[in-house]
Amino acid sequence: MTGDAELIRIAREAREYAYSPYSGFRVGAALLCADGTIYKGCNIENRAYGPTNCAERTAFFKAVSEGKKEFAAIAIVGGGEEPVWCYPCGVCRQVMAEFCEPDSFQIICARSEREYKVYTLEELLPEMF
Ligand code: THU
């Protein structure tokens, strides 16, 4: 069973591949599936701005496109040179709502393996559609 610290380490690894020449904000995510597999994602920006994809959605779309539909947790690490507190945007929260149990899916927002906060999806997206 993957622990919080290990998932955060993998999200930091994913952050290495962030493509963010326009914002300079680098985000990595590690999505833990119910079967124990992990999908990594980074943010991918675009010169037209609008097509930019967040790290969280990159991880979800990779996983869903490989047949995964059940998820346990996601770790998120984002910032400039050093990680800051980085929370998923509204669009990513809605994507999570499509696939995750509101009261049990864990969203781990981390600055490091030792400094992190854990939320349920319900806490970050109350009264969801
Ligand atoms: N971003 C993410 O990838 N995830 C978040 O949780 C917040 C924002 C990205 C989008 C954009 O590439 C950059 O961070 C600045 O908003």
By CB neighbour count within 10 A (0-12 exposed, 13-18 middle, 19+ buried), where does 56 fall? Answer: buried
Cα gap 53→70, rounded to integer Å: 21
**Start-to-end C-alpha separation, the chain:** 31
| Residue 102 φ/ψ, nearest 5 degrees | -60, -35
- For the stretch 108-129, pLDDT in tens is 999 999 999 999 999 999 999 9
Beta bridge partners of 109: 76, 117
This prediction has a pTM of 0.98
Which residue has the least CA distance to atom 3 on ligand 1? 54
Ligand 1 nearest-atom number relative to CA 58: 3
Residues framing ligand 1 (Cβ under 6 A): 20, 23, 25, 27, 43, 45, 52, 54-56, 76, 78, 86, 88-89
When computed from its CA atoms, the radius of gyration of the chain, rounded to whole angstroms, is 13
Report the DSSP beta bridge partners of residue 26.
79
Catalytic residues: 56
pLDDT of residue 1: 72
C-alpha 52 to ligand 1 mean position (Å): 8
Q: Return left, alpha or beta for 128; rule: phi > 0 is left, psi -120 to 50 is alpha, else beta.
A: beta
Write out pLDDT tens, residues 35-76: 999 999 999 999 999 999 999 999 999 999 999 999 999 999
